[in-house]
Chains A and B, each alone.
Chain A
Amino acid sequence: MFSVTFISCRKEAQPIPEEVVDTLFPAEPNAVVKGLYLVNEGNMDMNKASLDYVDFTKGQYRRNVYNQANPEVTKGLGDVGNDIGVYGSKLYVIVNNSNKVEVLNVNTGKRIQQIDITNCRYITFSNGKAYVSAYLGTIGDPNSPNGIVAQIDTGTLKEIKRIDVGRQPEEMAVVDNKLYVANSGGYTPSNYEHTVSVIDLATFTETKRIDVGINLHRLKADKYGDLYVTSRGDYGDIPSKLFVISTQTDRVKKTFDIAAGNLVISDDLAYIYSDEFNVITGQSTVSYAMLNVKDETLLTRKFITDGTDKLIKKPYGIAIHPITKDVFVTDATDYITPGVLYCFDTSGKKKWSVQTGDIPAQFAFIYK
């Protein structure tokens, strides 16, 4: 008798539905940049990676679009959504702890294919190929500490081949048919990596390593043939830094002694933020900076000017609207509650903000 009463209390299992926030900002039905995907990492082991979508044509924010479009995928998008990228008509989501790349229809969010890559981290594209970095090439081999980059055919969605790079590779960029890979060496804190691997894409071989700085992470190319590479430092005595590499000489040509956790480059401007934790003081320091990449100078200008930066606890993602140059910044708050997406205009004033999934991190713009 008791059990009957109780069993009625357990709900019928159903997919977690999409949530739509209407009239967030004025709709622009004919916008060239029609939308923006945002992948939320979700805390590790919580299986809470999720995909959100800003619809510029409707002025809407849609939370949790992956689950709505793909309810048949066991346990959904997965654990720790680490990167996202668009190439052609396909959207690629890297789900780190779920060891997979989800390939989705960019318009519908429907899954086309899953590509298994263990411990995958970031993705970039060139000439019909996708390149995915992964922390380890082989699991459980004590003599294989190196990571890999996998080359994937964007037509067949099959891995073609893979190449060994440095230890625990992170972001990548392609300049002049050369793939540059930031190596972190994060699994060996006593001996971090300090190089960028250079891979000739014609032969798919590693041609050299550029000595940069320890524990590298972000790597972005500007339009002048330079790479901006961030170093996390060692969280103690060695602080985070930003390096500029010339792809002409494949050497470091400039070092900015500023904390750089993440950056985005749009035309001549680089937008940088940092949330640097120091193990000695126990303090996290949040900072924002802007650079001119043409003449490689630090600007006094700020991309948040209205005081909203004081509300952002943990800046975690950044993107620039390709046309309006609006700045999108995410706040991961405390990593275990839903985050916030902020949109700022070019003068640094907040236009709107909206609640996201947990740990909003990486963006991909969608064109008409």
Chain B
Amino acid sequence: MRRNKKALTGLCHLSAFLTLLGSCLFMPVFLYAQTDTTATRLADSINRLKEVQIKSQKLNRRQTSSTPLQILSGADLERLNSLSVADAVRFFSGVQLKDYGGIGGLKTINVRSLGTNHTAVFYDGVQLGNAQNGQVDLGKYSLDNIEEIELYNGQKSTILQSARGFSAASSLYLKAKQPVFEKGRNNNLRAGVKTGSFGLVNPSVLWQSKLSNSLSSTVSAAYTQATGKYKFRYTNGVYDTTAIRSNGDVERMRLELGLNGNFADSSSFSAKVYIYNDEMGLPGAIISNKFDYLQRTWNRNVFVQSAYQKMVSKRYSILAAAKFAYDYNRYLNPENVSLNGILDNRFHQKELYLSLANQYQINPFWDVVLSTDYQYNTLDANLFSFAYPDRQNVLAALATRLNFNSFDIQANLLGTYVYDRVKDGTPAGTKQKLTPTVMLSWQPFSGKEFRIRSFYKHIFRMPTFNDLYYTDFRRNYIRPENTVQYDLGVTYIKAFDKLVLKQFSVQADVYYNKVKDKIVSVPANNPQRWSIENIGEVEIRGLDVNIQNIWQINPEVELTTGINYTYQDAVDVTPNETSTYKRQIPYIPVHSGSFLAGAGWRALALNYSFIYTGQRYNQKANILANYVEPWYTHDLALHYQVRSAMHKIKITAEVNNLLNQYYDVIANFPMPGRSYRFTLTYTY
């Protein structure tokens, strides 16, 4: 009986999505008919024709990448209602953002249900590491200084990359704003301030300076302060409780210094110093009789990184990178008082990273690449009987690419060697593994519009320091977590010159993933201790669809729309787990998606976005007690821009969660209802 009911709601979600999809597909005809009579001016048609021709020639990387690629960049990214990278990645298909709510709440990305630790996050080409827990909090990366966000399932499809680039199940690339100077200009300045709900005050400044014809510098700084207070509401239809989220205050500072060089011999160089500091309250789970918490955390991250790329000869290119990072985390828990006083944990991490990639072109259609990385991590903590682990990680990737007119094949073999040591106890020791990847991209017809792509990738993740050595536990028996991915997809792009619809593009992929030896943390029979086990097996069958359209409503109004849809059948196939066997894994909806629309008219731009996440379960058993409601939010942003020859002022007003829906992404961690944000940006 209940099953049927659920099947029905599932159908209802699906039909809603089909409606959405359908309207996207059929709207062109409808709109065309509508505007046909009005768009008559000859000059305009000529203008539009030109524009279309330019567009039709431009196949973007979404179409040509042999691994599924989603991009948010430039104007699209600026128009989006987003404060941090986390807000932006919600619009990618195949993505679930694990969001604990509010400005300070942890926000991590889970791509195609493989788990948070399987997505590598790269900042200007170098991975942002966290040897302690393997997670990167995307909420901490503000969009102030981000030009482009790319998400690849599998790996980046360019062959010349660091061995790290080959090493993750999916890869998120964040690219900082690159200095570009208009003719006769030696300085670019951008200063802005954001304010709004949650007591947000967020000034930021970006200054790019041309030091010489080949060298430029960037200074980017931001300060964020917020009380983090917002209303939330829980109800079961009988009780109906509204309260204010507390202990969510945030204070953050970020300073980035960059140096970029592009030299006459086509070599390029970049260096970056990144300094970040924060202090936050940790709002805990909203549970019966306990809404307020006292826990606090402090973070300090400093890194220096540099990359260098050069074509040594016509056939030989190199890419080198180096990074040193220091991360400090303090966790204070006044609810835990021991003989040593209040629980006050301090963690220090250090990372040294060196990478060299070599590309050799054997002939015009055949390249080989050898990439080698060395990484050294340490973790210190003021915990009793702490292991003080360090880890040496050597990665070597041998990759090759055959590139013909209509066919592109890449294959690589990645060798990983990990060697752990501890000062106290037994280390996890040495682990080594060879993992392959094969990627294909094929243009079956003479037209460039349609392509077929496919990839196979086997990769694993090492247990993190926390998995292995947290407190006085030694878990050297934990094995790496394995994933295998198969993907088959098509991309299609078409430009039209007589329609209101100027460009239509679609990417659709079906995939099958398998996770083995999933590292699962389970509470042990003492609340202070968790045990970690390799107990899970998960099978994921999914479909990702992305559609982007560009419309010219009239000569002055261009509309872009994007729709993302994700279907995921992610089931637990752990042997001997009868009650959960073949049931959907926690927090993965079967249906989810987003819709984006942006229009510009003269100095005004309007952006609308909609996100939908279907019903989920918050634990393994798919029962009523674990049911989590679907959620869907509507966001609106209005931008107004005043520009003169040299100056530009932009004012943005945003309303997020317009319909004030109260929801949880993670059970008992409420998300904000309706909120507002105002931005003033000055650009010189």
Contact = CB atoms under 8 A, between A and B. Distances in A.
B485 to A, nearest CB: 26
A143 B237 CA distance: 44
A236 interface: yes
Interface stretch (B353-361, B391-399, B522-530): B522-530
Contacts of B659: 3
Interface in B359-380: none
Interface residues of A, number: 82
Interface in A3-33: 3, 5-16
A189 B287 contact: no
B335 A6 contact: no
Q: How large is the interface on B (under 10, 10 to 19, 20 to 34, 35 or more residues)?
A: 35 or more
Nearest to A71: B238
A88 interface: no
A15 B289 contact: no
Interface string A277-310: 1011110100000000000000000000000000
Contacts of A133: none
A214 to B, nearest CB: 13
B236 A15 contact: yes
Contacts of B612: 6
Contact of B385 (A11, A187, A190): A190
Nearest to B532: A282
B238 A47 contact: no
A142 B337 contact: yes
Contact of B621 (A6, A191, A332, A337): A337
Contacts of B524: 277
A304 to B, nearest CB: 19
Which of A141, A277, A279, A355 gathers most chain B CB within 10 Å?
A279
B526 A187 contact: no
B342 interface: yes
A164 interface: no
Interface string A140-153: 11111100000000
B659 to A, nearest CB: 7
Contacts of B525: 261, 275, 277, 314, 316, 332
Nearest to B658: A3
A43 B288 CA distance: 14
A338 B522 contact: no
A345 interface: no
B573 to A, nearest CB: 15
Contact of B337 (A46, A141, A236, A314): A141
Interface string B264-285: 0000000000000000000011
Contact of B234 (A75, A279, A281, A334): A75
A74 B239 contact: yes
A316 B525 CA distance: 8
Contacts of A55: none
B219 interface: no
Contact of A140 (B342, B474, B610, B624): B342
A119 interface: yes
A310 B234 CA distance: 42
Given A10-B630, A95-B289, A358-B619, A73 B239 contact: yes
A336 B620 contact: yes
A110 interface: no
Interface stretch (A77-85, A154-162, A172-180, A250-258): A77-85
A281 to B, nearest CB: 8
Interface stretch (B9-17, B91-99, B103-111): B9-17
Contacts of A16: 236, 624-625
B629 interface: yes
Nearest to B20: A2
Given A139-B294, A279-B472, A46 B619 contact: yes
B668 interface: yes
Contact of B334 (A12, A100, A140): A140
Interface string A178-193: 0000000011111100
A318 to B, nearest CB: 13
A75 B249 CA distance: 24
Given A6-B632, A46-B619, A187-B343, A336 B238 contact: no
Contact of B579 (A78, A281, A337): A337
B238 A15 contact: yes
B646 interface: no
Contacts of A116: 289
Which of A48, A281, A337, A358 gathers most chain B CB within 10 Å?
A337
A337 B619 contact: yes
A46 B288 contact: no
Interface in B437-496: 471-478
Given A64-B625, A336-B522, A9 B236 contact: no
A187 B20 CA distance: 54
A201 interface: no
B241 interface: yes
B62 to A, nearest CB: 24
Contact of B338 (A10, A99, A187): A187
A73 B631 CA distance: 24
Contacts of B531: 277, 284
Contacts of A142: 337, 341-342
Nearest to A283: B477
Which of B23, B337, B339 gathers most chain A CB within 10 Å?
B337
B294 A140 contact: yes
B595 interface: yes
A5 B19 contact: yes
A236 B472 contact: yes
Contacts of B621: 337-338
Contacts of B475: 279, 282
Given A74-B288, A142-B337, A144-B337, A189 B668 contact: no
A73 B239 CA distance: 6
B634 interface: yes
Nearest to A186: B528
A188 B179 CA distance: 53
B37 interface: no
A284 B533 CA distance: 11
Contacts of B9: 9, 11
Interface string B376-391: 0000000011000000
A362 B607 CA distance: 55
Interface in B507-548: 522-529, 531, 535
Contacts of A358: 619, 625
A338 B579 contact: yes
A46 B579 contact: no
Contacts of A95: 288-289
Contacts of B629: 10-11
Given A47-B287, A119-B335, A6 B16 contact: yes
A336 B529 CA distance: 15
Given A9-B16, A16-B625, A335-B523, A47 B630 contact: no
B213 interface: no
Interface string A31-51: 000000000000111111110
A144 B426 CA distance: 35
A343 B668 CA distance: 34
B313 interface: no
A8 B12 contact: yes
B623 interface: yes
B489 to A, nearest CB: 26
A140 B296 CA distance: 12
A316 to B, nearest CB: 7
B418 interface: no
Interface string B108-125: 000000000000000000
Given A75-B287, A277-B524, A336-B522, 13 more contacts: A1-B23, A3-B632, A8-B12, A46-B285, A49-B288, A75-B241, A78-B289, A79-B287, A98-B288, A140-B335, A189-B471, A190-B384, A284-B531
Counting from the closest, the 4 A-B pairs by CB-CB distance are A78-B288, A140-B334, A142-B341, A45-B285
15 contacts: A5-B15, A10-B630, A11-B9, A13-B237, A47-B286, A47-B288, A77-B288, A140-B334, A140-B342, A186-B526, A189-B471, A235-B473, A277-B525, A334-B522, A355-B579
